[in-house]
């Protein structure tokens, strides 16, 4: 059996795992990534990277690679009634942030681009597809992991294990991380179609809300849009059997811009919040959906998986000290002390937004949405609320970046 020793073992090559491998390229740490997937990720998942995430890409020196590969920019958003009345319109250049735009890039391409860049480093091994078979845990630390790769067993001996293997994390369940879980009542549907001729502006996210419910229209890279909405009491079965004409009729009642819009179903997703009580155990740390799988109400899940990484990397022991189990333990606990309280607050706010979206899909939604739209108007009219709204939307809920940033962001 082949044995590989490494400083950092990343289990999972989705968004968070691939981003970490990319950020650690040529860092001096030896990095091994294990991914069971043969093909690409689901392209219908999140594909808009917040301005704070764009800033992380720029700091890692990889933003240009995404732009070279066709990533677009989204510069603002607009909330409308079902008739097209503007409730709130915001441009991200209103904020003093370094990159006042979202990066628009297909979900499946994000991970592949990160992995391509990571593979250019001199300190990276990728095992894909590979299945994790066994964790050897001694005194609370993972000493080795056995995987199946190319019809042979490989034993990996890591100093640090990063669980980045999604909401159904094997790392999390095998090592006994406790979680708080909340299943949401209404699943989500994602639809793809050609950008409507009436869509203006083209590089804005558009959110419609009215008596029929809520939906979001997002630009994509290929002159298409993605429309997402919660599935109400009609259920998933109706959507699976629906015709193009039936879907067009449903969408047009929720957004006047979508009259005549022809769509195909990109995905149907039950939604569940899974939040680990702790992100760290021994020499193991959870990131991305393995640590916090959340409702897409605010489009934050993809971004949380990336924006925690500068803090994690900043807390890691030096290359010379990474073999010290005590220094690794203290470093990961420091990461948890810094990052988890911030995410606790962000995820609580996201949960509140998710419950509002649930109410917007309920049979009694009409009265709630009247009040909700009035609240949006108040946000638009009051500068302090508008600024807070924009900071949260762009990934800076605790304030715009300043000259005196934490060391781990430098």
Domain, as residue range, for 245: 71-104+187-270+364-402
Read off the tokens for 226. 């993605």
Q: pLDDT tens for residues 110-128?
A: 999 999 999 999 999 999 9
Read off the tokens for 405. 């940033």
Across the range 388-408, mean pLDDT stands at 78
202 and 122 in one domain? no
Question: Quick check: is 166 in a domain?
Answer: yes
Q: pLDDT tens for residues 373-384?
A: 999 999 999 999
Q: Higher confidence at residue 360 or residue 42?
A: 360
Residue 184, pLDDT score? 96
Residue carrying structure tokens 């706010």: 349
247 and 191 in one domain? yes
Question: Quick check: is 371 in a domain?
Answer: yes
123 and 39 in one domain? yes
132 and 25 in one domain? yes
Q: How confident is the model at residue 194 (pLDDT cuts 50, 70, 90)?
A: very high
- Total structural domains within the chain: 2
Q: How confident is the model at residue 202 (pLDDT cuts 50, 70, 90)?
A: confident
Of 19, 16, 59, the C-alpha closest to 410 is: 59
> Please, what is the average pLDDT of the chain?
94
Question: Quick check: is 29 in a domain?
Answer: yes
Question: Quick check: is 99 in a domain?
Answer: yes
Whether 405 shows a pLDDT value over 60: the answer reads: no
Q: pLDDT tens for residues 266-279?
A: 999 999 999 999 99
Residue 402, pLDDT score? 65
d(CA 281, CA 312): 14
167 and 19 in one domain? yes
Across the range 240-266, mean pLDDT stands at 95
Whether 79 shows a pLDDT value over 80: the answer reads: yes
Name 64's Cβ contacts closer than 8 Å, sequence gap at least 6: none
Question: Quick check: is 408 in a domain?
Answer: no
Cβ neighbours of 287 (radius 10 Å): 27
Whether 403 shows a pLDDT value over 50: the answer reads: no
Q: What percent of the chain has pLDDT above 70? A: 98
Question: Quick check: is 154 in a domain?
Answer: yes
Residue 407, pLDDT score? 45
398 and 336 in one domain? no
Cβ neighbours of 120 (radius 10 Å): 12
Residue 165, pLDDT score? 96
Residue 345, pLDDT score? 96
251 and 112 in one domain? no
d(CA 307, CA 305): 6
128 and 29 in one domain? yes
Q: 15-23 vs 107-119: helix axis angle to the nearest 10?
A: 30
CATH number at residue 78: 3.30.9.10
295 and 197 in one domain? no
d(CA 216, CA 262): 16
388 and 344 in one domain? no
171 and 205 in one domain? no
CATH number at residue 131: 3.50.50.60
Question: Quick check: is 53 in a domain?
Answer: no
Q: How confident is the model at residue 41 (pLDDT cuts 50, 70, 90)?
A: confident
Across the range 391-410, mean pLDDT stands at 72
Strands 86-91 and 76-81, by their bridges, are antiparallel
250 and 116 in one domain? no
Question: Quick check: is 409 in a domain?
Answer: no
259 neighbors 135 (Cβ within 8 angstroms): no
Residue 224, pLDDT score? 93
Residue 404, pLDDT score? 42
Q: What is the pTM of this model?
A: 0.94
């Amino acid at each position: 059996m082949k044995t590989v020793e490494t400083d950092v073992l990343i289990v999972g090559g989705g968004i968070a795992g691939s981003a970490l491998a990319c950020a650690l390229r040529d860092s001096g740490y030896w990095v091994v990534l294990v991914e069971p997937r043969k093909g690409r990720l689901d392209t219908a998942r999140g594909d808009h990277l917040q301005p704070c995430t764009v800033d992380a890409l720029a700091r890692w020196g990889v933003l240009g690679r995404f732009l070279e590969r066709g990533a677009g920019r989204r510069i603002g958003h607009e909330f409308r009634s079902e008739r097209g009345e503007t409730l709130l319109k915001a441009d991200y250049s209103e904020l003093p942030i370094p990159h006042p735009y979202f990066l628009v890039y297909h979900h499946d391409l994000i991970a592949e681009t990160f992995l391509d860049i990571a593979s250019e480093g001199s300190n990276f091994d990728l095992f894909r597809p590979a299945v994790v078979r066994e964790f050897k845990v001694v005194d609370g630390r993972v000493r080795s992991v056995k995987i199946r790769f190319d019809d042979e067993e490989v034993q990996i001996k890591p100093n640090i294990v990063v669980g980045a293997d999604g909401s159904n994390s094997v790392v999390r369940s095998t090592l006994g991380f406790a979680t708080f879980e909340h299943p949401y009542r209404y699943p989500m549907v994602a639809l793809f179609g050609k950008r409507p001729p009436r869509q203006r502006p083209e590089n804005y996210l558009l959110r419609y809300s009215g008596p029929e419910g809520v939906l979001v229209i997002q630009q994509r890279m290929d002159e298409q849009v993605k429309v997402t909405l919660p599935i109400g009491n009609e259920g998933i079965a109706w959507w699976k059997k629906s015709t193009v004409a039936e879907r067009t009729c449903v969408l047009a009642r929720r957004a006047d811009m979508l009259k005549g819009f022809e769509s195909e179903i990109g995905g149907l997703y039950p939604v569940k919040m899974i939040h680990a009580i702790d992100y760290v155990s021994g020499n193991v740390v959870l990131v991305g959906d393995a640590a916090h799988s959340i409702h897409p109400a605010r489009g934050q899940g993809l971004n949380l998986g990336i924006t925690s990484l500068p803090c994690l990397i900043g807390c890691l022991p030096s290359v010379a000290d990474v073999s010290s189990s005590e220094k690794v333990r203290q470093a990961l606990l420091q990461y948890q002390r810094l990052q988890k309280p911030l995410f606790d607050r962000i995820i609580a706010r996201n949960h509140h937004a998710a419950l509002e979206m649930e109410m917007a899909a309920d049979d009694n939604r009409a009265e709630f949405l009247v009040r909700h739209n009035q609240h949006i108007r108040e946000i638009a009219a009051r500068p302090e609320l508008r600024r807070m709204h924009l900071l949260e939307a762009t990934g800076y809920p605790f304030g715009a970046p300043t000259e005196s940033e934490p060391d781990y962001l430098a």
